[in-house]
Amino acid sequence: MKNEPINILLIEDSPLDAGLIMEMLHKVKKFSFNLKQVNQLSTGMACLAEEGFDLVLLDLLLPDSLGLDTFDKVFAQAPDLPIIILSIVEDERLSMKAVENGAQDYLFKGEMDGNLLVRSIGYAMMRKKAQKELEEALHEKEILLKEIHHRVKNNLQVVCSLLYLQESYFEDEKYKNFFEDTQSRIKSMALVHDKLSHSKSLSHLNFAEYIKDTAAALLPSYKAPDKIKLSMDVKDIELSIESAVPCGLILNELISNSLKHAFPGGEGGEIRLKFYRDAGQQIILLVSDNGVGFPKDLDFRKTISLGMKIVNLLVNQLSGTIALDRAEGTTFKISFPELLFQPKGTI
């Protein structure tokens, strides 16, 4: 126990119980404290707003408040203070619920003595201090991880800039297209890290927002973007970074493939994106267009196209499946489970 007196606020409406609690604390040797007692919740709340306390001893049955609602009001106003409930009700379920809600302890007045109360006060203050230190450490970690995601995004953008400069040295369209495709893939990864650096969660991101941003960035690359209608039906689903990066690359490849090949000669058309979770809890990504269609004599799993090779490898990395429907234009359906741990395989 620290040497300086502990400032305690006792919210207790029974003069008899308040006197017994005071007597119990005085009987414990080497326990130094200052205690202020009030008999109503409203008065206690006013004291918490105006004065500095180290701990609250709280009765749940007060003239102006009853039950756990009493605790919840105090906790909402003073979440950083340890709160110990002193109750005449010996109820295990109530005590467990109180601790779940944030109480440091729940003591039954009928079995309480000075040593038990002081020991509970000591443990409560130590736990609250440890909790505060842990929360501060976690906050520092969150800031650090956000900064890491931000720097990764910036570094990937630098790589894109270098590729853009390198591209300018080539006149052959084949090589220019190669550099442009590589930049697009890197940008799709950078966008994941950018989203995570601004996300409340450092391990998951809202992939619906990612889809919208990716599609909006890719469409202007088409020769006649005003002729392409983009239709999206995407549900708000959180993906881990292990799933988001490969899924983002797949999305980039399939949208780019539609823009390059589905509408030859600057023709117009529609690209449709759907993203949802099915009845079996599989995550579904549909990328379709109403263009000329995927060549019937071409097996997308065995094509020499680098883009489709990447898509197939990434689907495998997600432990997913991919299917092609040629009925109306081209529709690729990717189905995969949400990855909780390291994804299978590498590119």
Question: What is 57-75 written as a DSSP string?
Answer: EE-SEETTEETHHHHHHHH
Contact 71, 101 (CB under 8 A): yes
From residue 136, alpha-carbon distances to 100, 123, 131, 141, 143 in Å are 21, 20, 9, 9, 11
Q: Does domain 6-112 have CATH number 3.30.1330.10?
A: no
Tokens linked to 302: 């065995």
**Residue recorded with tokens 């414990």:** 28
SS3 state of residue 84: strand
From residue 10, alpha-carbon distances to 24, 134, 192, 270 in Å are 13, 28, 51, 69
Give me the sheet containing 105-108, strands edge to edge. Answer: 33-38, 6-11, 55-58, 83-87, 105-108
Q: Kindly tell me the burial class for residue 254, based on how many C-beta atoms sit within 10 Å of its own C-beta (0-12, 13-18, 19 or more).
A: buried
pLDDT digits (tens, 9 = 90+) for 233-282: 999 999 988 899 999 999 999 999 888 888 887 778 899 999 999 988 89
Least confident range from 30-44, 163-177, 291-305: namely 291-305
Q: Kindly tell me the burial class for residue 171, based on how many C-beta atoms sit within 10 Å of its own C-beta (0-12, 13-18, 19 or more).
A: exposed
pLDDT digits (tens, 9 = 90+) for 151-197: 988 898 899 898 888 888 888 888 888 888 888 889 888 988 888 88
Mean pLDDT of the chain: 87
Contact 9, 44 (CB under 8 A): yes
**Percentage of residues in the chain having pLDDT higher than 70:** 95
CA distance 33 to 6: 4
From residue 194, alpha-carbon distances to 153, 155, 190, 246, 343 in Å are 6, 11, 6, 15, 21
Q: Which of 189, 195, 338 is nearest to 275 (CA)?
A: 338
Close Cβ partners of 42 (under 8 Å, ≥ 6 residues apart): 64
Q: Kindly tell me the burial class for residue 130, based on how many C-beta atoms sit within 10 Å of its own C-beta (0-12, 13-18, 19 or more).
A: exposed
Average pLDDT over residues 286-296: 87
CA angle 156/343/333 to nearest 5° reads 90
pLDDT of 37 reads 94
CA distance 289 to 328: 8
CA distance 291 to 300: 17
Tell me the domain boundaries of the chain: 6-112, 219-347
**Percentage of residues in the chain having pLDDT higher than 90:** 44
E strand or H helix at 328, and its extent? none
Contact 29, 55 (CB under 8 A): no
Contact 122, 33 (CB under 8 A): no
CA distance 343 to 340: 8
Q: Which of 321, 341, 347, 16 is nearest to 203 (CA)?
A: 341
CATH code that applies to domain 219-347: 3.30.565.10
CA distance 222 to 227: 9
CA distance 85 to 107: 6
pLDDT of residue 346 exceeding 50, the answer is: no
- Which of the four pLDDT bands, split at 50, 70 and 90, describes residue 135? confident
